[in-house]
A and B are shown apart, each in its own frame.
Chain A
Amino acid sequence: EVQLVESGGGLVKPGGSLSLSCAASGFTLTGYTMHWVRQTPGRGLEWVSSITSDSAFIYYADSVKGRFAISRDNAENSLYLQMTGLSPDDTAVYYCARGKLMAELEYWGQGALVTVSS
């Protein structure tokens, strides 16, 4: 069974940093493009970042470009999101997902809540 489990969420002050992890099981991360998507009550779902199977291609939404960094460790079957320069607008539930590049996201994790507040 494919499972994605996010961790690392929490409360951080504006301007701070936080790192999210996503542990994959039930499949081998190698060969799959992976994504981060966030969700807020007011703004719905928002694509954040994508990374191809070999990390050769990485993409970011304009809203996080220059502040967030996606990475993966295929040997550890894990996906990461390093977030810096956080603002209250980054407050959201962050999901990791497996799916085709810029197409359907077939499996999602349960999400990790990130709250940016002083």
Chain B
Amino acid sequence: QSALTQPPSASGSPGQSVTISCTGTSSDVGGYNFVSWYQQHPGRAPKLIIYEVTKRPSGVPDRFSGSKSGNTASLTVSGLQSEDEADYFCSSNAGSSSLVFGGGTKLTVL
């Protein structure tokens, strides 16, 4: 199973919005509504911030939002804050027996 495609980097100034894309195929992102997004700070474990394309776990700020169109999912971070600087990974169900991740995007807050 091939990894999902994410841009290696993204950036924005404090207060701005930034969107990170996650492109797959009709066999994963396009075929299921089980797209998740994870935030990972250096030296820390990934943290779930979006699941089932658009849902946020309890405690995750509503500045984080998810969407999907066709084979591409997106994570938008609004009102950027310095603590949002981290790596972001997407994942998707890729059938009944496989889970696939994106390569990760390093978000820099300028």
Interface residues of A (CB under 8 A from B): 35, 37, 43-47, 50, 59, 61-62, 95, 99-100, 102-111
Measured between beta carbons, the chain A residues less than 8 angstroms from B104 are 44-45
The listed residue (A50, A59, A61, A106) touching B48 by CB distance below 8 A is: A106
Most B CB contacts (10 A, CB to CB) among A35, A47, A50, A103 go to A103
**Which parts of B26-49 form the interface with A (CB within 8 Å)?**
34, 36, 38, 44-48
Q: Is the interface of B mostly helix, strand, loop or mixed?
A: loop
The listed residue (B34, B52, B89, B97) touching A45 by CB distance below 8 A is: B89
User: What separation, in Å, do the CA atoms of A105 and B93 have in the docked complex?
Assistant: 11
Q: Say which size band chain B's interface belongs to.
A: 20 to 34
Number of A-B contacts (CB under 8 A): 69
Q: Select from chain A the residue with minimum beta-carbon distance to B102.
A: A44
What 0/1 readout, one digit per residue, does chain B (1-33) give for beta carbons within 8 Å of chain A? 101000000000000000000000000000000
Are B103 and A102 interface neighbours, CB within 8 A? no
User: What separation, in Å, do the CA atoms of A100 and B32 have in the docked complex?
Assistant: 14
Are A104 and B98 interface neighbours, CB within 8 A? no
What 0/1 readout, one digit per residue, does chain B (76-109) give for beta carbons within 8 Å of chain A? 0000000000000101011111111111100000
User: What separation, in Å, do the CA atoms of A45 and B103 have in the docked complex?
Assistant: 7
9 shortest interchain CB distances as A-B pairs: A104-B51, A108-B45, A45-B101, A47-B99, A104-B36, A103-B34, A44-B104, A102-B93, A59-B97
Are A95 and B46 interface neighbours, CB within 8 A? yes
Are B3 and A44 interface neighbours, CB within 8 A? yes
